[in-house]
Structure 1
């Protein structure tokens, strides 16, 4: 799938690999080209970068699937099914990213974009943002991991009420329920997201990825299983150059240099 107009822009900003959805005239709506280009952008992350930052151009972060393309499809079921399959590969790449993923969202987060946000590690959200699953209005069931993200954040009763009534969440509600980590004024969104991404990049990113796995698995495991995994992963962290540097810095009463702690 190719298109004359790039759907995704990438930029290297020091330790941060910035990926920007760039279809503002369509609210950054998802289509096959967007899925293909976003996958390629994640694959192209320079190995030396320590954080991914996901942003959206224009007034809306992402309005979900491109409904006009659904309407044009000769076989809507096959078209939407292929798009969901390709989009789920994007979600998986975010979930299993070897470095932390920060997102900055504004305006509208709808449909599959809810799952996209849910796959990121830390989300900074402009106060005027609205979150809407939007599938019910189309007669669709959810995709993109949106049912997972909403159930994980809101719990099943609230998630079902939201999706079955075609409801919406304000940014404050999304923050209250834990769908996003931080609220900022609209005009401060980009600056705040960039600053947070750079702050994360100074930390022990491999330990952060281990921490991410522990947090995501906690809800589906017993305490005994979690304790076993914690013991295994903290041992890995202690043996990692990051852990060695952190301990040395503590003893030497200085700030740790995790950037200088190479891979094992």
Structure 2
């Protein structure tokens, strides 16, 4: 039998149009290690071109509890170790943010530390009702990483994000849904099926237009309306000229469902 530390920390599989990536260290709550960061980055980089969406899942009762604190304690130079891990993890976050196809996640149990930033980097997040989300950095005497401060400030606003992070607070799944940190809230037993179905629904859509939409939404909070209008005009022109846009218009005129999968 393969020892937990010797088996891959991330599993990948093609599920039709969907590239499914599963964090697979359930015995540690899918805690972040250098190996997990490297394998997740590789999984994103090796997505087969024929897949049209990414689905991110966590094996076991907890989605991702953040950094592996035991490895921090065992490091000869904790500052250098944690700094390098943050650097590696940030490459993962960037790969998620700029993924050329939409990214869907299904989260359950516990989401903590850098796992919060991972959730914030996804496009659509389905959350199980009993999930608890805790930044947890204050308990270690750390400041946040992994885009956690960005994700929480964007969803909650600065005052509530600071209250959560400075007091080592916890968000319930209902609160995360109400504030917009996660898109959908489902019963625990419905999480796997709902996340898979949503990923396939997204994969059947106009993915290039979705990626343009993602860029517009993420930039909106930091730009003026004039800047946003200019970008909207540029990107809708790109979409109209794109085979997806042409197929969508033809389907509308012909009163049929568009076939975005075969729009080239």
* TM-score normalised by the chain length of structure 1: 0.98
Q: Distance in 2 between matches of 1:161 and 1:183?
A: 23
Deviations 1:182-227 (A, max 9, x none): 0011011011000000000000000000000000000000000000
Q: Distance in 2 between matches of 1:185 and 1:68?
A: 32
Question: How far does residue 5 in structure 1 lie from its aligned partner after superposition?
Answer: 1.6
Question: How far does residue 245 in structure 1 lie from its aligned partner after superposition?
Answer: 0.2
Q: Distance in 2 between matches of 1:10 and 1:182?
A: 24
Give 2:28's aligned residue.
Answer: 26
* Equivalences, count: 260
Pick one of 195, 198, 201 that aligns with 1:199: 201
Question: How far does residue 96 in structure 1 lie from its aligned partner after superposition?
Answer: 0.1
Pick one of 246, 249, 252 that aligns with 1:250: 252
Secondary structure at 2:19's aligned position in 1?
Answer: strand
Deviations 1:93-147 (A, max 9, x none): 0000000000000000000000000000000000000000000000000000000
Secondary structure at 2:237's aligned position in 1?
Answer: helix
Consecutive unaligned residues in structure 1, runs of 5 or more: none
Q: Distance in 2 between matches of 1:188 and 1:238?
A: 37
Q: Does 1:72 align with 2:80?
A: no
Secondary structure at 1:28's aligned position in 2?
Answer: coil
Q: Distance in 2 between matches of 1:192 and 1:52?
A: 14
Give 1:95's aligned residue.
Answer: 97
Q: Distance in 2 between matches of 1:104 and 1:67?
A: 24
Give 1:15's aligned residue.
Answer: 17
Pick one of 48, 67, 85 that aligns with 2:87: 85
Secondary structure at 1:259's aligned position in 2?
Answer: helix
Consecutive unaligned residues in structure 2, runs of 5 or more: none
Give 1:219's aligned residue.
Answer: 221
Give 2:109's aligned residue.
Answer: 107
Superposed structure 1 runs of 4+ greater than 6 Å apart: none
Secondary structure at 2:261's aligned position in 1?
Answer: coil
Pick one of 195, 209, 212 that aligns with 2:211: 209
